[in-house]
Amino acid sequence: MYIFVVGGGRIGYSIAEYFSNRGDKVIVIEKNKKTCDFLAKNLDVTVYCGDARSIALLEDAEMDKADVVFAVSGSDTVNIRVAEIAKKRFGVPTVVVRLNHSENREKALQAGADHVICLDEFADVFIKTITESEFRIIYDRNGFSIAEIKIPPDSSLVGQSIKVLEELEVKPIAVFRENMYFSPTENIVIEADDILLVTGTQQAINKLKEHIFGAV
């Protein structure tokens, strides 16, 4: 395959290294001279040093022969423009675009990207590996939910009466603490690592989740 990589940072380097080790023809375009020198020294790839938005440069690099273009520079604007040139001028079959901000996804797709990878969405994945293990919906129907929530040690709810949940428009059903069950009477004070069973509207449950874990 003829692989075109725009951007020689960590992501671009890894892509170029993988395909060059596999025996594919790899072209890398990078603007930074030091990075270009590093790539040329350490990888079996052809490196062009310059602005990937330059039609003349892309013609010299023979983008028209590319089977796949990876636009993975650190700039959303550059990557979107490269996708547009690759698809609409050179007719590249597959264009993959890396974005820093998911709000630019539609622009990339309109430019011609076949696949869009948004780094800010990866941050959400890492966050959810924690929050989803501490929060889960048990029942959800017709706008009404029952949720199980584990209170983190740094939560502002720690040390407050269980009645504070009513201010957030949810109703406590039960409290589980160190494998013991407690009825949510008004004398119960919330402690770190308590598991609360609560009920309320979907909107109220989401509001409580944001209150405890922040917006995710």
Question: Does 155 lie in the same domain as 203?
Answer: yes
Residue 126 lies in a domain: no
Question: Does 149 lie in the same domain as 112?
Answer: no
pTM to 2 decimals? 0.61
Residue 65 lies in a domain: yes
Residue 53 lies in a domain: yes
For range 7-13, the mean pLDDT: 91
Buried b (16+ CB within 10 A) or exposed e, 96-118: bbbbeeeebbebbeebbbbebbb
Q: Which of 102, 121, 140 is the last residue of a domain?
A: 121
The pLDDT tens digits for 97-154 are 999 888 999 999 999 999 998 887 766 655 555 555 678 888 887 778 888 888 988 8
Question: Does 88 lie in the same domain as 177?
Answer: no
Strand partners, 39: none
Residue 200 lies in a domain: yes
pLDDT at site 203? 87
Residue 171 lies in a domain: yes
Residue 32 — φ and ψ, nearest 5°? -80, 125
Question: Does 188 lie in the same domain as 99?
Answer: no
Question: Does 91 lie in the same domain as 198?
Answer: no
Nearest to 74 by CA among 127, 170, 7, 168: 7
208 token code pair = 């409580």
The pLDDT tens digits for 84-103 are 999 999 999 999 999 988 89
pLDDT at site 167? 86
CA pair distance 167, 105, nearest whole angstrom: 38
CATH code where residue 70 lies: 3.40.50.720
Q: Which of 87, 121, 155 is the last residue of a domain?
A: 121
Question: Does 115 lie in the same domain as 23?
Answer: yes
166 token code pair = 């009513």
CA pair distance 209, 123, nearest whole angstrom: 18
Question: Does 171 lie in the same domain as 82?
Answer: no
Residue 83 lies in a domain: yes
Question: Does 102 lie in the same domain as 6?
Answer: yes
Residue 114 lies in a domain: yes
Residue 80 lies in a domain: yes
Question: Does 111 lie in the same domain as 26?
Answer: yes
Question: Does 113 lie in the same domain as 44?
Answer: yes
CATH code where residue 146 lies: 3.30.70.1450
CA pair distance 177, 157, nearest whole angstrom: 15
Report the domain count for the chain. Answer: 2
**Is 155 a residue whose pLDDT tops 70?**
yes
CA pair distance 171, 182, nearest whole angstrom: 14
**Is 216 a residue whose pLDDT tops 50?**
no
Q: Which of 121, 151, 173 is the last residue of a domain?
A: 121
Question: Does 35 lie in the same domain as 102?
Answer: yes
CA pair distance 16, 46, nearest whole angstrom: 10
- The stretches of the chain forming alpha helices (DSSP H) are 10-21, 33-42, 55-60, 76-84, 105-111, 119-134, 164-167, 202-213
The pLDDT tens digits for 188-197 are 999 999 999 9
Q: Which domain holds residue 107?
A: 2-121
Question: Does 169 lie in the same domain as 82?
Answer: no
